[in-house]
Amino acid sequence: MTAHDELSHLLQRAAPEVSEESDDLNTAIKLMAVKTHHEERSRRRASRPLAAGLAVFFVVAGGATAAAAATMQWYPWAQDPDASFTVTMPSGAQCEYRYGGVEGASSEDVRAFIAENDIVAMADVDGALAEARAQGQTIYDENGELQPAGPGSAMYDADFEYQFAISQAVSELIEDHLRAQGKLAPYSLNMQADCGQE
């Protein structure tokens, strides 16, 4: 069993049962994403205002994270996304990324920006990776204990790391764009990725 298979197995075993989708649940997830994003950005850039929250849903090689079903299904907003991109993971896996479900004061500006640009190619994913590694990466194991998850560790998964770097880098790219346009205001943006089955 490869390290990737072990991680997928751990994610499947640890994943909580997923509630049926509802407007209330989607709103709660978005608010949680905004709050989490705000707390992280506040630690890193205390002088910069919150612009965004990015709710992230991944399905990787059949394994599922929380908030994503074990059988891949696109969320309603992702069935008609504002933008979609193909991304090659470090493993060589091809992933389809869909962005949409934009809400908030900057929603029209965000929607136009992601529809008109290759935001994944423009985002500083390498910079986000370097920053995450500098800060240290950890993940909970099957016993609920925090373990190192950076390169060289037993829990490391390059594709998983890369996906979260994309999320962070895209969020920062959009925030920087809004700030440059003088239109910085809170918004939420959903992202869902399907890397297919192995």
Sequence-ordered list of residues with C-beta below 8 angstroms from that of 188, at least 6 positions apart, any chain: 30, 33, 34, 52, 53, 54, 55, 101, 102, 103, 104
Residue 132 domain boundaries: 3-194
Q: Quick one: average pLDDT of 1-26?
A: 57
Please write the tens of the pLDDT for every residue from 48-65: 334 445 555 544 333 233
Structural domains of the chain, count: 1
Query: Which one is predicted more confidently, 92 or 37?
Result: 92
Confidence at 150, pLDDT banded by 50, 70, 90: confident
pLDDT value at residue 8 = 59
pLDDT value at residue 125 = 95
pLDDT value at residue 185 = 87
Max mean pLDDT among 1-5, 49-53, 104-108, 109-113 falls in: 109-113
Contact between 85 and 119 under an 8 Å Cβ cutoff? The reply is yes
For the question of whether the overall pTM of this predicted structure is more than 0.75, the answer is: no
Reading the block at residue 195, the tokens are: 């890397």
Determine the Cα–Cα distance for residues 161 and 82; give it in Å rounded to an integer: 25
